[in-house]
């Protein structure tokens, strides 16, 4: 339970109306009940304001003076940033219980910190190192020689292949596979022969990886996901890829082998990058883009094959001008025919 006054202190926002109003929950404006604090950060949802029955509103400065709905308001520069501080107070995490479940199967040679949470049926291989405050969910499998840094969390049913290295405060969601053999073959007299995949897979500090992702190990050399990068669900990272620090990869992105990206790159959902590319720092790759060439730092690309976003939009617009162009050329040809009309009165 928080009052608007409490929330103001936590967020340094400004209150309009009654600061003693209390709420237990923050809800999207289209769902919020009378007891909730309604949340409005995007003008597309402002239409719900007039019928919102909530006693309080968390709203951005841009939308804070819109009429209708709750008159008791906390106006903040970034409502999402306010959630970062308010939600943990409203919904405190259950206290982590440290301990190793008796059904966990831990190899005698593994080094496991005393303060860890290891769930039922977890399997930990030889020579694994598990740091302090690590939380490994039920039914995870951690291969031989893996290291897991302080404060890292694996949700259930994750697989970490042998010798992968996870840094500190990493979060890996359910069903993700890290350090998978890369997709490398040579053809030999008709057969397709596997090239052994012996490289490393390194997940640096503060990375979060969504559910059911696949991150390959290097063939030789290594695959790296850089510090602070965030991957959504069902993302595929091939062998020897390097994702730079503080990058954002939305769901179902695929990055093919040996491509290297700079710091702070953003990739939209379902985008695909072929192998051996260099993607410059701060580049932005549109949803579903198919990138088949290098991208300069800061460049924004879209479409397939991906090119400069504005060029792409122009090309699409040009296609839409085709029917008009066809009509104009028809008209010109008619004029040029013997006996064709040539005056401006030509009805065309």
List the interface residues with a second copy, window 250-309 (CB under 8 A).
Answer: 250-252, 254, 256, 258, 268-270, 272, 274, 276, 287-288, 290, 292, 303-305
Scanning 5-13, 16-24, 67-75, 217-225 for contacts with a second copy by CB under 8 A, the matching segment is 217-225
211 is a contact residue toward a second copy (CB under 8 A): yes
Phi and psi at residue 254, in whole multiples of 5°? -130, 130
DSSP labels, 40-67: E--GGGGGGGGG---SEEEEETTTTT--
The minimum distance between CB 64 and a second copy, in angstroms, equals: 18
CB 206 within 8 A of CB 244: no
44 is a contact residue toward a second copy (CB under 8 A): yes
- Residue number with CB closer to a second copy (14 or 194): 194
CA dist 42 → 39, 61, 271 (Å): 9, 11, 25
Token pair, residue 57, equals 């509103």
- Helix (H) and strand (E) counts for the chain? 3, 40
The minimum distance between CB 197 and a second copy, in angstroms, equals: 9
225 is a contact residue toward a second copy (CB under 8 A): no
Neighbours of 245 (CB within 10 A): 20
**How far apart, in whole angstroms, are the C-alpha atoms of residue 259 and residue 218?**
12
Instruction: State the catalytic residue, choosing from 107, 173, 239, 276.
Output: 239
The minimum distance between CB 50 and a second copy, in angstroms, equals: 18
- Nearest to 11, CA basis, from 50, 31, 37, 49: 37
**How far apart, in whole angstroms, are the C-alpha atoms of residue 216 and residue 80?**
33
- Residue number with CB closer to a second copy (131 or 268): 268
23 is a contact residue toward a second copy (CB under 8 A): no
9 is a contact residue toward a second copy (CB under 8 A): no
Residues 150-169 that bind a second copy (CB under 8 A): 155-157, 159, 161
276 catalytic? Reply is no
Provide the annotated active-site residues: 239
């Amino acid at each position: 339970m928080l009052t608007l006054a409490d929330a103001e202190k936590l967020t340094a926002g400004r209150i309009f109306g009654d600061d003693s109003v209390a709420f237990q929950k923050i809800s999207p404006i289209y769902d919020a009940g009378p007891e909730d604090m309604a949340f409005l950060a995007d003008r597309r949802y402002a239409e719900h304001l007039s019928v919102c029955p909530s006693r309080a509103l968390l709203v951005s400065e841009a939308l804070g003076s819109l009429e209708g709905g709750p008159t008791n308001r906390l106006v903040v520069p970034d409502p999402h940033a306010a959630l970062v501080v308010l939600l943990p107070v409203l919904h405190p995490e259950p206290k982590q219980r440290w301990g190793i479940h008796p059904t966990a199967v831990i190899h005698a040679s593994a080094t496991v910190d005393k303060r860890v949470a290891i769930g039922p049926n977890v399997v930990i291989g030889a020579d694994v190192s598990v740091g302090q405050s690590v939380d490994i969910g039920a039914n995870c499998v951690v291969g031989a020689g893996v290291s897991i840094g302080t404060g890292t969390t694996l949700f259930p049913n994750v697989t970490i292949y042998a010798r992968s290295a996870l840094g500190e405060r990493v979060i890996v969601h359910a069903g993700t596979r890290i350090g998978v053999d890369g997709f490398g073959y040579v053809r030999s007299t008709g057969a397709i022969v596997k090239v052994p995949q012996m490289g490393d897979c390194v997940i640096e500090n503060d990375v979060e990886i969504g559910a059911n992702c696949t991150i390959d190990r290097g063939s030789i050399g290594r695959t790296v996901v850089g510090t602070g990068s965030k991957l959504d669900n069902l993302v595929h990272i091939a062998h020897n890829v390097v994702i730079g620090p503080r990058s954002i990869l939305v769901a179902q992105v695929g990055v093919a082998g040996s491509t290297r990206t700079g710091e702070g790159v953003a990739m939209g959902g379902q985008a695909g990058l072929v192998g051996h590319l260099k993607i410059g720092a701060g580049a932005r790759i549109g949803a579903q883009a198919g990138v088949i060439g290098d991208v300069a730092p800061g460049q924004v690309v879209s479409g397939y094959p991906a090119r400069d976003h504005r060029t792409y939009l122009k090309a699409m617009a040009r296609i839409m001008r085709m029917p008009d162009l066809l009509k104009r050329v028809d008209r010109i040809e008619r004029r040029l025919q013997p006996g064709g009309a040539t005056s401006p009165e030509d009805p065309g």
